């Protein structure tokens, strides 16, 4: 039996002691290690399997961490983490108190730049390279970026600048023709032609003043190491085009790259994803969106859908399959997606622009300048709003309420369940005069029979879900379910009124007037940041109207929330049902002691 190589590799300096002909065996062991852990602990699988040889070759050739290696996005960095001192704790990946699922500067000196959103690696690596020049340091700076990420505008901005510098920068294109979903756009076709040996005379990267080499097989150690060693001696900006297979080494992951991007739990021996228990479940909010937009689009020929590289994650894939000429995946290009939507809206189209909440941050100027300033009725569907669990700080959608609330003309709504999501989508396409942001969470809701007839909602109007006589609890969006569960556990439930405010902009001021005139205490609850969020809007209202009853604001504190399950994150913020019930009980007892 061949002795294990990986058990003796804890840092890249150990790796560099191996003979080159031992690397294929180490690659096999590293893949098995990743598969065994991710099969039970979950995480991003396919991307990390695809770059095993590249990861080993980079740490074998370069003097990391002195030479600085930046992974774009970070989905592919599991092998990197295992080889850089974290092998023995890799089983804690994405768990509360454990390793981050992405490179994190606080976690290791080998993680030279924190990543999570795509297309940042070239700019970051260039910044490091210029800094090294200014300080007179002799270092290598390597950015590894995927073919989906490099199509983003920011990546081109970085390339454009790098091409007129003498910085010691190496950009490695990990070309596997897929991000989370298959790559799209003209650049994808260009790269396909390059791989087929076409268009060599007009190489776009050479035109940007990069010393281009490739394409080379990203699973061929000999070719990789030979070229990386050569590139170490080349001055200025360099570009290496590497061809890999996402999911390499696990047949199912190679054959179904979308599913095995992050497959959940699976059998590490067979590779089969464990079947879901055959129970009737409420749908995911994303699927309610996906099926509802198809229903609406079949009724209204002016409806179109847009997503930046998330057709599966957003479930716009249903519309792309059934009405392909009116559904658009624009690639990793959030800024373009928003302004594209604005352009369509000027021509009378009804545009549903579906973007993960955390990624809309990348198009903030476009939301203000191109949509809201012109008061164009674009319908933003913000998937993954609120806390998203194990993906952690880079992916939480907790800032959207605060950063959108300050924008004139913007309507902001958070449906508390699947039926409300359907109804606000229906309402939005009836002819709103302003842009609207509809925020909803990742995961499943609570209503199994959600396909009910559409009903128009009144913009800016909340509703009372339960009547009480002492405390008014104001919830926004799906936090209503935590409140309802909490109320069911309190000793004096008759003391609590529960309101679903539905809209943070415009606020239901008539309803708020009734609330502040009747109750002794108001508690607001949201799954967004409390600074500038829903609770802040309630406080601003109370201040403007000179109401002086106590208002307690609950939500996401002024910190970046690390990876854990959503339940654990709610518990840490004390917005879970148990913590809320304790708070409600204590508040009721305090108020009853006063009267």
DSSP code string of 483-529 = HHHHHTTSTTGGGEEEEE--EEES--HHHHHHHHHH-SEEEEEEEEE
What are the tens digits of pLDDT across the range 326-385? Answer: 999 999 999 999 999 999 999 999 999 999 999 999 999 999 999 999 999 999 999 999
**Distance between CA atoms of 215 and 123, rounded to whole angstroms?**
23
Catalytic residue among 87, 246, 317, 405: 246
Name the burial class of residue 406, with classes exposed (0-12), middle (13-18) and buried (19+) by CB atoms within 10 angstroms of its CB: exposed
Strand order from edge to edge, sheet including 303-307: 327-329, 303-307, 350-356, 379-383, 436-439, 411-413, 503-505
467's tokens = 């009547």
CB 86 within 8 A of CB 109: no
Relative to beta strand 411-413, strand 436-439 is parallel
Catalytic residue among 94, 238, 284, 362: 362
Average pLDDT of 185-211? Answer: 79
User: By three-state DSSP, how is residue 197 classified?
Assistant: coil
Catalytic residue among 42, 53, 227, 334: 334
**Residue 2's pLDDT is what?**
58
State pTM to two decimals.
0.90
Q: Which domains does the chain carry?
A: 6-261 (3.40.50.970), 285-439 (3.40.50.970), 463-594 (3.40.50.920)
CB 381 within 8 A of CB 289: yes
Q: Residue 284 contacts by C-beta under 8 Å, 6 or more apart in sequence?
A: 315, 442, 443, 444, 445
- Catalytic annotation present for 200: no
What are the tens digits of pLDDT across the range 436-446? Answer: 999 999 988 88
CB 529 within 8 A of CB 490: no
- Mean pLDDT, the chain, as a whole number? 92
**Distance between CA atoms of 67 and 139, rounded to whole angstroms?**
5
- Catalytic annotation present for 246: yes
575's tokens = 């917005």
CB 35 within 8 A of CB 89: no
- Catalytic annotation present for 139: no
User: By three-state DSSP, how is residue 354 classified?
Assistant: strand
Query: For the chain, what percent of residues have pLDDT higher than 70?
Result: 97
The neighbouring-strand residues paired with 500 are 463, 475
**Residue 201's pLDDT is what?**
52
**C-alpha to C-alpha distances, 131 to 136, 137, 245, 499, 549, nearest whole angstrom:** 9, 9, 34, 54, 54
Q: Which residue has the higher pLDDT, 127 or 260?
A: 127
């Amino acid at each position: 039996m061949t002795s294990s190589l990986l058990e003796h590799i804890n840092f890249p300096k150990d790796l560099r002691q191996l003979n080159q002909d031992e690397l294929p065996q180490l690659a096999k062991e590293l893949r098995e290690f990743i598969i065994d852990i991710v099969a039970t602990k979950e995480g991003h699988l396919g991307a990390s399997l695809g770059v095993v040889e590249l990861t080993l070759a980079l740490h074998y050739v370069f003097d990391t961490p002195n030479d600085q290696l930046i992974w774009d996005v970070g989905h592919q960095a599991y092998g990197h983490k295992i080889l850089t001192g974290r092998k023995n704790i890799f089983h804690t990946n994405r768990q509360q108190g454990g390793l981050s699922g992405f490179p994190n500067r606080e976690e290791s000196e080998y993680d030279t730049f924190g990543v999570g959103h795509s297309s940042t690696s070239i700019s970051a690596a260039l910044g490091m390279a210029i800094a090294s020049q200014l300080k007179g340091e002799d270092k290598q700076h390597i950015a590894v970026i995927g073919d989906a990420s490099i199509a983003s505008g920011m990546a081109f901005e970085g390339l454009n600048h790098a091409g007129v510098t003498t910085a010691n920068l190496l950009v490695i294109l990990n070309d596997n023709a897929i991000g989370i979903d298959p790559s799209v756009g003209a650049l994808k076709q260009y790269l396909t032609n390059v791989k087929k040996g076409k268009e060599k005379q007009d190489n776009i990267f050479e035109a940007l003043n990069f010393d281009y080499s490739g394409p080379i097989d990203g699973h061929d150690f000999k070719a990789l190491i030979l070229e990386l060693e050569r590139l170490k001696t080349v001055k200025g900006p360099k570009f290496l085009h590497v061809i890999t297979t996402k999911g390499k080494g696990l047949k199912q992951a190679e054959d179904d790259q979308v599913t095995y991007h992050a497959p959940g739990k699976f059998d590490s021996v067979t590779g089969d994803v464990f079947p879901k228990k055959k129970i009737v479940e409420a749908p995911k909010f994303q699927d309610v969106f996906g099926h509802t937009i198809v229903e609406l689009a079949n009724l209204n020929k002016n409806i179109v859908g847009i997503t930046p590289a998330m057709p599966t994650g957003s479930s716009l894939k249903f519309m792309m399959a059934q009405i392909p000429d009116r559904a658009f995946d624009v690639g990793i290009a959030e800024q373009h997606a928003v302004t594209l939507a604005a352009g369509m809206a000027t021509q009378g189209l009804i545009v549903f622009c579906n973007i993960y909440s955390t990624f809309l941050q990348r198009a903030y100027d476009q939301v203000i300048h191109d949509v809201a300033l012109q008061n164009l009725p674009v319908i933003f569907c913000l998937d993954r709003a609120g806390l998203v669990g194990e993906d952690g700080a880079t992916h939480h959608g907790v800032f959207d309420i605060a950063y959108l609330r300050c924008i004139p003309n913007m309507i902001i709504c958070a449906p508390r369940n699947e039926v409300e999501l359907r109804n606000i989508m229906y309402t939005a396409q009836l002819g709103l005069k302003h842009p609207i942001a509809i925020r909803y969470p990742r995961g499943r809701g609570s209503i199994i029979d959600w396909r009910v007839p559409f009903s128009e909602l009144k913009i800016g109007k909340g509703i009372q879900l339960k009547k009480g006589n002492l405390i008014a609890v104001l919830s926004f969006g799906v936090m209503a379910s935590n409140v309802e569960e909490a109320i069911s556990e309190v000793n004096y439930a008759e003391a609590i009124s529960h309101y679903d405010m539905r809209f943070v902009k415009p606020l239901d001021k008539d309803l708020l007037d009734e609330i502040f005139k009747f109750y002794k205490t108001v508690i607001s609850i949201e799954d967004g940041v409390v600074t500038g969020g829903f609770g802040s809007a309630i406080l601003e209202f109370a201040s403007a109207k000179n109401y002086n009853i106590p208002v307690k604001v609950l939500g996401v504190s002024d910190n970046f929330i690390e990876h854990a399950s959503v339940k654990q994150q709610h518990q840490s913020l004390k917005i879970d049902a148990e913590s809320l019930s304790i708070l409600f009980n204590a508040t009721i007892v305090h108020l009853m002691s006063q009267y």
